[in-house]
Amino acid sequence: MDALTWLEGTMIAQAIRETPWMYPAFETTHYIGLAMLVGGIMLIDLRLLGFARDLPLPPILGLLPWVWAGFAINVVTGTLMFVYGATSFGTNRMFWLKMTLMALAGVNALVFTLSTRSADWIASGHAPGRIKAIATLSLALWLGVMAAGRWMAYV
């Protein structure tokens, strides 16, 4: 609790509190980041599951930089919003559910990356069953992240 109170008293938190447009700007940018992050993930996962087979896999997997850019934007804006309201976010169970689901999605993405190291299925355009399982789990986890994120304001 002390760390959360300290965070809320930092200069950054004070600056956000005293500048009325800052918080809405972070929230809006967080949504743009969301569209890039989950938009990219959704297109990759759906293609792995067999949707839009006319699109070759390599350029679809090449959308990953958008995912990383969206993730970076949301880590920065998310951290700033957390600092602003540390004592309420830090004690919000939906916030911690969101963080847990994101960590799981991260592990899932790491497993996927390791699975694509030596993958002859990429050229064939058909993902094997274990990759489809990873893609399904990824869609479910990010849906959960979004839902928990929205629910934070209501608990």
Q: Which residues are at the interface with another protein (CB under 8 A)?
A: 24, 27-28, 31-32, 34-35, 38-40, 42-43, 46, 51-52, 54-56, 58-60, 62-63, 143, 146-147, 150-151, 153-154
Give min distance, CB of 6 to another protein, in A.
Answer: 28
- Please state, in angstroms and rounded to a whole number, the distance separating the CA atoms of residues 38 and 130: 21
CB of 84 to another protein, least distance (A): 14
Between 4 and 22, name the residue whose CB sits nearer to another protein.
22
**Closer to another protein at the Cβ: 7 or 127?**
127
Query: From the CB of 126, what's the least distance to another protein, in Å?
Result: 15
Q: Which residues contact 124 (CB under 8 A, 6 or more apart)?
A: none
Query: Cβ of residue 125: shortest distance to another protein, in angstroms?
Result: 11
For another protein, the closer of residues 4 and 144 by Cβ is: 144
CB of 123 to another protein, least distance (A): 13
Query: Rounded to whole angstroms, how far apart are CA atoms 152 and 155?
Result: 6
Report the C-alpha dihedral over residues 139, 117, 36, 125, rounded to 10 degrees: -70
Q: Would you say 39 or 90 has its CB closer to another protein? A: 39
Cα separation values, 108 from 63, 123, 148, Å: 17, 22, 18
- Classify 99 as helix, strand or coil: helix
Identify which of residues 114 and 153 has a Cβ nearer to another protein in the complex: 153
Tokens representing 129 are: 């069953």
Give every CB contact of residue 68 below 8 A, 6+ residues apart in sequence. none
